[in-house]
Structure 1
């Protein structure tokens, strides 16, 4: 199971540094690819329409049009039933760095391809002046 990295991605310098040094975790290939190819910008300069760590996003499945809300988080804070999705998961790594309107694509554990459009960012820490989370 893996995420597919498509197009340009933007990471904050803080997210990039923290993800590069995740202790005790093996980075999935999709996250390693994202870290190697993403544009890195300062936390104060990241646009408010970019998915950063701890952003709460509204997704629309491109096939079923089902809506869901997820928050991209670090592994220790993951609670999938509450909508907190680890950045190490296929969904989490596929969302990070996307902009509103972009489509995230990933494979399920059974090999099914999933795709959801980022319909809105309901919360982004940097947009509220939180540059440390």
Structure 2
């Protein structure tokens, strides 16, 4: 997973995600280390500085898995909303891969079984920060 694209996250998302990771650290959940690495390498800005084309928590995003051209439209959510129709948890590999990417960016990401996939952001259909909601 070399040549990772630059990512940006809000300080609020970072704070909430760090709290979640601290709460589940001892549960030995797969892929938490990958999420931690993403948070560590992210540019962190205030929620009011988030561009509208960026995937943040609670954003509805359209993305493509490039090898298969499978197209997805999902909302990136915290674990408490995981399992709702049309959502993907930040604790899943694809969820942590999406966070902080902008329209047009791609990322190579390892999924269960060790396979690498390439995801490309096609559109951010709904983003709380773009709607002036800085506390979701």
Same fold per TM (> 0.5)? Answer: yes
Say what the alpha-carbon RMSD is for the aligned residues: 1.9
Structure 2, unaligned stretches of length 5 or more? 26-30
Query: 1:10 is matched with which residue?
Result: 8
Query: 2:111 is matched with which residue?
Result: 108
Deviation (angstroms), 1:40: 0.6
Query: 1:69 is matched with which residue?
Result: 73
Query: 1:91 is matched with which residue?
Result: 94
Report the secondary structure of 1:114's partner residue.
Answer: strand
Give aligned pairs, total. Answer: 130
Q: Higher mean Cα deviation, 45-54 or 106-115?
A: 106-115
Query: In the TM superposition, what whole-angstrom CA distance separates every residue of 1:63-107 from its partner, at most 9, and x where no partner exists?
Result: 121211111111111116x22111111001100000111113323
Structure 1, unaligned stretches of length 5 or more? none
Query: 1:24 is matched with which residue?
Result: 23
Please give the alpha-carbon distance, in whole angstroms, between the structure 2 residues aligned to 1:107 and 1:122: 25
Please give the alpha-carbon distance, in whole angstroms, between the structure 2 residues aligned to 1:44 and 1:123: 16
Please give the alpha-carbon distance, in whole angstroms, between the structure 1 residues aligned to 2:2 and 2:126: 24
Equivalent residue for 2:40, pick from 36, 42, 66: 36
